[in-house]
Structure 1
Amino acid sequence: MTDARRPEGLLLDAMGTLIGLRRSVGSTYAAFAAEYGLKVDAEAINAVFPQLFRAAPALAFPGLEGAALLEAEQAWWIELIAGCLKACGHEGTLPEGLGPALFAHYATAEPWQVYPDVPDHLQRWSDAGLKLAVVSNFDQRLHPLLEQLELAPWLDAVVVSSAVGAAKPDPRPFQRALELLKLPAAAAWHIGDSPEDEAGARAAGLHCVLIERQQPAGTPGGSNR
């Protein structure tokens, strides 16, 4: 059996582990809403977003791919955005274009930051010969986002829940990453920031290390957004 203290590969959570938001969800949603004629309090959104995010169905769509998967991903987020605004007092339907605009915004590097220690860690792990994969409860936007944030060159694989059809704490995203890295569970660790990371990793037979980051208000702690 491989010594758990000497892994051959690392599976890494994305949001809250490698990258995080530059400003709160509420401030961004409120700013975009204002452009569509809606006045929404940023702090009110920050108060409701974490609960609504956790109550939402898993961001996972078994059997979908291509354009159908992208459509399902965007619809998932637009429903969450609409729910946030409704909970903050907005009546009626979401203004046309607001949901897609926010969806497109979070596909760019602008709202995101790479935590300062991450590049050095990735380089050191890569130099040590470790295989590296991201496992995230996110959607296909993560692939180009990691390219824009200049993290992709260190990564051997990226697995997102929407495409694999299951979300952490389900073990399947971890199992898919291990398949792509061609490693048994005993040869890898997972690094994340949430109970879902820990439960999913253990269900997949992985040793798990949890870290804690400072995140903007309104960010659902340990949500893997």
Structure 2
Amino acid sequence: MSQPPIKAAPAALLLDAMGTLIGLRRSVGHTYADVARQHGVIVDPTAIDRALPAVLRLASPLAFPGLEGSELLAAERQWWARRIEDTFRATGGNLAEFELPPRLSLELFDRFAESDLWQVYPDVIGPMGRWHRAGLRLAVVSNFDQRLHGLLEALGLADLLELVVVSSAAGAAKPSPQPFQLALDSLGLEPEQAWHVGDSPEDVAGARAAGITCLRIQRH
């Protein structure tokens, strides 16, 4: 019986970030509730954790074509401010009509840029170090914003990476193939020379649309 062809080993790995390389040490809801409490807003962390995924599914892509510098940062802050407001309102109760303190969303945006909230998964550092020493080119392609650069630096991953592409600056988000194509162009590679590793359906669809083999991991 004939065997399917085995693909050649890739020259580069394009890695997703959130849920693949790094994750939160505790749920989003706990941090939202802690910061909100400082502004006199009391909310159940579990209610936040239930509401946020639906809010994010309905949101426009975290991508801003043509923006850079301070304009891009302002757009990122505004995008998250809307998601934060929608999440608090979706928890129900008196928050549905409650006007959030103006600085709450800004403080939450800044809080999630701090590395103490995040962790590198235990199975990441060893393999990435071996791949890097073996000459495999490593890059990140993520549906996130510019805060990711500082997080990867603080968490000790930046030195292993040749490139970080975030959707907000790329002007398109997965499942669009555009962030992947931007990474390939920056690395000077063809699609068949790279594999993508991610944890979501958007990772799979975006990589395939760009002609890249995708390996999907599933974390608990």
**Residue aligning to 1:120:** 126
TM-superposed deviation, 1:5:
3.7
Determine which of 16, 23, 42 is the counterpart of 2:26.
Answer: 23
Aligned partners of 1:57 and 1:114: how far apart in 2? 28
Per chain length, whose mean CA-contact separation is higher, i.e. which structure has more relative contact order (CA < 8 Å, sep 6+)? 1
Contact 1:4 1:188 in 2 (8 A): no
How many residue pairs get aligned? The number is: 212
Q: Which letter does structure 2 place at the counterpart of 1:13?
A: D
Residue 99 (structure 2) pairs with residue 93 (structure 1): yes
Residue 216 (structure 2) pairs with residue 197 (structure 1): no
Residue 13 (structure 2) pairs with residue 7 (structure 1): no
Percent identity over paired residues: 58
Unpaired runs of at least 5, structure 1: 215-225
Where has structure 1 moved over 2 Å in runs of 4 or more? none
TM-superposed deviation, 1:12:
0.1
For normalisation by structure 1, the TM-score amounts to: 0.92
**Residue aligning to 2:72:** 69
Residue 145 (structure 2) pairs with residue 139 (structure 1): yes
TM-superposed deviation, 1:166:
0.2
TM-superposed deviation, 1:114:
0.3
Aligned partners of 2:7 and 2:104: how far apart in 1? 47
Aligned partners of 1:39 and 1:144: how far apart in 2? 30
Aligned partners of 2:167 and 2:150: how far apart in 1? 16
**Residue aligning to 1:53:** 56
Aligned partners of 1:14 and 1:180: how far apart in 2? 18
Residue 175 (structure 2) pairs with residue 172 (structure 1): no
RMSD across aligned positions (CA): 0.9
TM-superposed deviation, 1:181:
1.4
Residue 106 (structure 2) pairs with residue 103 (structure 1): no
- What SS is found at the alignment partner of 1:110? helix
Unpaired runs of at least 5, structure 2: 1-5
TM-superposed deviation, 1:4:
2.8
Aligned partners of 1:4 and 1:104: how far apart in 2? 43
Deviation sequence 1:73-93 (CA, Å, 0-9, x none):
011111101001111131232
- What SS is found at the alignment partner of 2:141? strand
- What SS is found at the alignment partner of 1:117? coil
Contact 1:138 1:162 in 2 (8 A): yes
Aligned partners of 1:35 and 1:4: how far apart in 2? 54
Residue 83 (structure 2) pairs with residue 80 (structure 1): yes
TM-superposed deviation, 1:180:
1.5
Higher Cα radius of gyration: 2
Aligned partners of 1:141 and 1:78: how far apart in 2? 15
**Residue aligning to 1:188:** 194
**Residue aligning to 2:38:** 35
Aligned partners of 1:165 and 1:96: how far apart in 2? 27
